[in-house]
Structure 1
Amino acid sequence: MERDEPGSVSDLFWAVARRLRHTSRETLAPWDVTPSQLRALGTLMRHGAARPGALAKHLGIAPRSATEVVDALEQRGLVRRETDPDDRRATLVVVTDAGRELAAAVRKARATETDRAFAGLPDADRAELERLLRRLLAEWEPSAEDPPVGRH
């Protein structure tokens, strides 16, 4: 085995993850959006409007970091802050039409890159990889104690 060649499952996993991160950065470049911003946008699209604190917990980041992400998205018109109708003292972060359009474009570009990245795998191997990745994700599903994202 060559010195730089990954050997263990862990090494292989992280080598693939690094390559995917690099490809993701290249894919996101035309939209000038960071992975953190895209994750926040995706979370809001999947779960609906959310208070910044709930968004921070869902993303696993500090509330201050979530505020910075939301500020950047808001400056670009991808999200807006609204008063929570259930509690006028609270603010909700809501995805705008521009945010939905950007997310759809990025999702399409990422799907194309993913297809390219895994094109060399036979269908059976792709299906097995998908099965294994779903199993790993299921192991890490949030617990019942984790706060829901979305309106309270």
Structure 2
Amino acid sequence: MLSYNENDITGKLIHNLWAIHHVMCSISGGRAGQKRILTILLRNGTVTQAELTEHLGIHPGSASEVLSKLENSGLIHREENRADRRTIDICLTEKGKAEAEIALAQREQAKKEMFSVLSEKEQAELLALLEKLMADWNTRYARQAERGRK
């Protein structure tokens, strides 16, 4: 494993934030993972493919690929929207609902465990620091974030 400079605190922060990102993606199944899509559908019911793509922050082609896998596995059903034939509605099948409930339970358990090493006071302090950081970053890097979504 590569080491980082013990005196470079910002480098260590970035290194740890990247490591946290990778753990969280692994736990949640990634930004557009099948389990994440199933849980979104479980929570929201029928959604359009465009709504799902926007919510996930991914390109339509990437969403289509994952959705095809889910459909081929019998977990979702896609059909034309009755009001607008250009729109595709996505909903869970019964098999998909069962899988989504399992995935959601696993995610909820992981959420409980993830911060259990911290006291409630430490969790509140960490949250306050992260919110302060994100407020600054949302202003400072807004243009770069917009370009990354396109």
TM-score range, shorter chain: 0.5 to 0.7
1:49 and 1:43 map into 2 onto residues whose CA distance is 10
Name the counterpart of 1:7.
Answer: 9
1:110 and 1:122 map into 2 onto residues whose CA distance is 21
> Kindly tell me: are residues 111 and 83 of structure 1, through their superposed partners in 2, closer, same or farther at Cα, counting changes over 3 Å?
same
Alignment RMSD, CA only?
Answer: 3.3
Query: Aligned to 1:56, which of 53, 66, 70?
Result: 53
Name the counterpart of 1:39.
Answer: 36
Asked if 2 retains the 8 angstrom alpha-carbon contact of 1:39 and 1:59, the reply is: no
Asked if 2 retains the 8 angstrom alpha-carbon contact of 1:48 and 1:94, the reply is: yes
Question: Superposition pairs for residues 29-108 of structure 1, below 5 Å?
Answer: 36-108=33-105
Offset from partner CA, 1:49-88 (integer Å, 9 cap, x none):
2332332233222212111111111112221012312124
Query: Shift of residue 126 of structure 1?
Result: 2.2
Offset from partner CA, 1:95-143 (integer Å, 9 cap, x none):
2232222222122222323333322211211233345556749x86xxx
Normalized against structure 2, the TM-score is what? 0.65
**Count of residues paired in the alignment:** 131
Q: Which moved more, 1:37-46 or 1:63-72?
A: 37-46
1:61 and 1:34 map into 2 onto residues whose CA distance is 8
What percentage of aligned pairs have identical amino acids?
Answer: 30
Name the counterpart of 2:25.
Answer: 21
Query: Aligned to 1:120, which of 100, 117, 120?
Result: 117
Query: Shift of residue 35 of structure 1?
Result: 5.1
SS in 2 for 1:87: coil
1:114 and 1:54 map into 2 onto residues whose CA distance is 25
Normalized against structure 1, the TM-score is what? 0.64
Query: Shift of residue 93 of structure 1?
Result: 1.0
> Kindly tell me: are residues 107 and 66 of structure 1, through their superposed partners in 2, closer, same or farther at Cα, counting changes over 3 Å?
same
Higher helix share: 2
